[in-house]
Structure 1
Amino acid sequence: MKEYSVAPNKDVTGWIVKIEDIAPTDEYDERDTAVEKAKEMAQENKPSRLLILDQNHEVEEEIKY
């Protein structure tokens, strides 16, 4: 199962989409945009899990596809 995550960058000025918590794939200015892109990636690569983290890097939401 692939794991995707959306987390803020270190300055919380952007949101990063990561695959398998390795290297960032993309960075977005808006949290909602990053979440939508991560959802698309996770849905296209089932089975997968998406973790959405808040500015404290705590899991806010977990979605499984």
Structure 2
Amino acid sequence: MKEYSVVPNKDVTGWFVKIEDVAPTDMYDERDTAVEKAEEIAQQNKPSRLYILDQNHEVEEERTF
């Protein structure tokens, strides 16, 4: 199962979409945009799991596709 995550950058001024917790693929200004994009990627690569982290890098939400 592939794992994806949406994590804030150091200053919480942008949000990264990461695959398998490796290097970020893309950065977005809006959290919602990053979540939307991560959902698209996760749905295209089922089975997969998406973790959405808050500004403290704690898992806020987990979604399975």
Q: TM-score, normalised by structure 1?
A: 0.99
1:33 maps to 33
Mark the runs of 5 or more structure 2 residues left unpaired by the alignment.
none
State the partner residue of 2:6. Answer: 6
> What CA deviation, in whole Å up to 9, does each residue of 1:23-44 have, x standing for no partner?
1000000000000000000000
Write the distance in 2 (CA, Å) between the matches of 1:11 and 1:60: 18
> What's the Cα RMSD here?
0.3
Give the drift of 1:4.
0.1
Q: State the TM-score, normalizing by the size of structure 2.
A: 0.99
Match runs of 1:53-64 below 5 Å: 53-64=53-64
- The percentage of counterpart residues that share the same residue type is 83
Report the CA distance between 1:22 and its aligned residue.
0.4
Which ranges of structure 1 fall in alignment gaps of 5 or more residues? none
Deviation at 1:64, TM superposition (A): 0.4
